[in-house]
A and B are shown apart, each in its own frame.
Chain A
Amino acid sequence: GDSVTQTEGLVTLTEGLPVMLNCTYQSTYSPFLFWYVQHLNEAPKLLLKSFTDNKRPEHQGFHATLHKSSSSFHLQKSSAQLSDSALYYCALRNTGNYKYVFGAGTRLKVIA
Chain B
Amino acid sequence: GGIITQTPKFLIGQEGQKLTLKCQQNFNHDTMYWYRQDSGKGLRLIYYSITENDLQKGDLSEGYDASREKKSSFSLTVTSAQKNEMAVFLCASSMWTTYAEQFFGPGTRLTVL
Contact = CB atoms under 8 A, between A and B. Distances in A.
A42 B90 CA distance: 11
Interface string B20-42: 00000000000101010000111
A49 B99 contact: yes
A33 B28 CA distance: 24
Contact of A102 (B42, B50, B94, B103): B42
Contact of A32 (B96, B99, B103): B99
B102 interface: yes
B16 interface: no
Contacts of B102: 36, 46, 100
Contacts of A94: 98
Interface string A97-112: 1111011110000000
Interface residues of B, number: 26
Interface string B56-81: 10100000000000000000000000
Interface in A2-32: 9, 32
A102 B101 contact: no
Contacts of B48: 98-99
Interface string A45-65: 110011010000000000000
Interface of B: 4, 31, 33, 35, 40-45, 48, 50, 56, 58, 90, 94, 96, 98-99, 101-107
16 contacts: A32-B99, A34-B101, A42-B106, A43-B4, A43-B106, A44-B43, A44-B104, A45-B103, A50-B99, A52-B99, A98-B50, A99-B48, A100-B33, A102-B43, A102-B44, A103-B42
Given A34-B101, A100-B45, 13 more contacts: A36-B102, A45-B104, A46-B102, A52-B99, A89-B42, A98-B31, A98-B48, A99-B58, A100-B33, A100-B94, A102-B42, A102-B44, A103-B42
